[in-house]
Structure 1
Amino acid sequence: MSTDTLDPTATPRLAVPTRVLLGGGAVAGPLFVLLIVAQALTRDGFDAARHPLSMLSLGEHGWIQTANFLVCGVLVLASAAGLRRVLAPGSAGRAWGTALIAVYGASLVWAGVFPTDPMDGFPAGTPAGAGEVSWHGMLHNLAPVGMGLALSAACLVFARRFAREGRRGWTIYSVAAVAVYLVLGLAAFPAGEYRLMLAGGAAIWTWAAMLSLMFLIERGDRPSS
């Protein structure tokens, strides 16, 4: 384990809350994906191939996805604070890496606060086609852009860090996660297949969760934790 990984100045009084913060980040990615998949399979009229996942926040049971955005966003923000605590001051990733993870979390919260617009027959009774874009729909559309850019950059920041530490597996994983996200995300639009975008998102969301889990486990090896 690299001496640059953990902050040697961390004190026991921070151990429990830091574990909780990192644990929240480890839970956020899988929870977000599982709730989306569960809803996509059970919501009447929702077609994951042609409806963006954000549309799950609409209709009678839309509160579930809204809560998913908000809760997972808060958990990710918590993980950014936890990562900042365990990374040594001045180390690679502590400034930019944690800030980018925080932007990812804030984007999830933003998506929950500003709902997208009905379109293409969902929810039930919505006319076919693109439909009109409201002011909150325009604001919502900023969320996936901010989330995607922030997480892609975070992957590369931490990939550089892991490469310097000689962690080949984590370096490859970090680069692969952003590559899968970008390739599938870009392929989704010409193919008219939003499930590709969801699969790409799952790859990078779970990367962020695994990052928190890794630091949580490493911190558990220390006497002060």
Structure 2
Amino acid sequence: MASPRAHALTRRLLTAGALAGPLFVAVFTVAGSLRPDYDQLRHPVSSLALTGAGWVQIANFLVAGALLIALAAGMRRSALLAGRARAAAWLVGAAGVGLLGSGAFVTDPVSGYPPGAPDSIEYTPIGAVHDAAALPVFLGLPAACVVLAVWALRARRPLLGAYSLLSAVAGIVLLQISSTGFQQDPAVVDVAGLYQRATIAVLLGWTTVVALVLLRAEPAERREEAAPE
């Protein structure tokens, strides 16, 4: 059995992971509202890394990535998850690495931001790496949702299972709509940023819920250990 100190470390990792989504969303929302000529309905979150104030969003990527990696470590250590369910931890960790890569490699301009940039994206090598780094986030997290949904349903946790499955479906659908908008589809180009933000909120919201569910299980395990036989 794990020691109380080991449980304490697991709780700290899960607590850090629970902060990833709320902090990331809060920072890019505030940063976007303060940025001249930036339209949060139209422009992608990654575009906040452009221009002189771009360091704020770069730091946001890096911090959120580190917090997701902490969550992945906490999931691996969790007493609640076992067997194949822990594959979800690897996928969450990959998403964390993807966020680190998104911060290290800045995106290319799109949808006319910064002012004077073309609407259609013109890829550079750095911008292409940025988009590749985003794949573990936007595809890895829905996969993690599915893995955890299967485990939760088998473990007779129907609410968590249904929520995880719905998060996966919503994340993929919203991602497809936002991607179509960033490709300048006139039907959704002006709200592509909104759909991308909804995608991020759904997927990172799921990581927060999972962290809290696992965090709640840790004290229970510790009390069980301490109880006399």
After TM superposition, the score normalised by the length of structure 1 is: 0.89
Q: Does the C-alpha gap of structure 1 residues 183 and 74 become closer, same or farther in structure 2, counting only changes over 3 Å?
A: same
Q: Give 1:118 deviation, angstroms.
A: 2.7
Partner of 2:217: 218
Q: Give 1:90 deviation, angstroms.
A: 5.1
1:28-81 Cα deviation digits (max 9, x unpaired): 011111111112222111112321110101112111110010001001101111
Runs of 4+ in 1 over 3 A off after TM superposition: 87-90
Q: Does the C-alpha gap of structure 1 residues 97 and 131 become closer, same or farther in structure 2, counting only changes over 3 Å?
A: closer
* Aligned mates of 2:54, 2:74 — CA distance in 1: 30
* Aligned mates of 1:110, 1:85 — CA distance in 2: 25
1:13-92 → structure 2 map (5 Å cutoff): 13-87=5-79, 91-92=83-84
- How many pairs are equivalent? 215
Partner of 2:202: 203
Which of 2, 12, 23 aligns to 1:10? It is 2
* Aligned 8 A contact 1:55 1:118 in 2: yes
Structure with greater helix share of residues: 2
Q: Does the C-alpha gap of structure 1 residues 33 and 212 become closer, same or farther in structure 2, counting only changes over 3 Å?
A: same
Q: Does the C-alpha gap of structure 1 residues 19 and 127 become closer, same or farther in structure 2, counting only changes over 3 Å?
A: same
Q: Percent identity?
A: 34
For the pair 1:143 / 2:133, whether they are aligned, the reply is yes
Partner of 1:100: 91
RMSD: 1.8
Q: Give 1:171 deviation, angstroms.
A: 0.8
Q: Does the C-alpha gap of structure 1 residues 67 and 168 become closer, same or farther in structure 2, counting only changes over 3 Å?
A: same
- SS of equivalent to 2:76: helix
- SS of equivalent to 1:141: helix
Q: Give 1:87 deviation, angstroms.
A: 4.0
Letter in structure 2 aligned against 1:14: A
Q: Does the C-alpha gap of structure 1 residues 164 and 120 become closer, same or farther in structure 2, counting only changes over 3 Å?
A: closer
* Aligned 8 A contact 1:69 1:109 in 2: yes
After TM superposition, the score normalised by the length of structure 2 is: 0.87
- SS of equivalent to 2:106: coil
- SS of equivalent to 1:61: helix
Q: Give 1:134 deviation, angstroms.
A: 1.7
* Aligned mates of 2:98, 2:201 — CA distance in 1: 16
Q: Give 1:89 deviation, angstroms.
A: 8.1
Letter in structure 2 aligned against 1:114: F
Q: For structure 1, list consecutive stretches of 5 or more residues without a partner in the other structure.
A: 1-8
Letter in structure 1 aligned against 2:105: F
Q: Does the C-alpha gap of structure 1 residues 57 and 90 become closer, same or farther in structure 2, counting only changes over 3 Å?
A: same
* Aligned 8 A contact 1:10 1:85 in 2: no
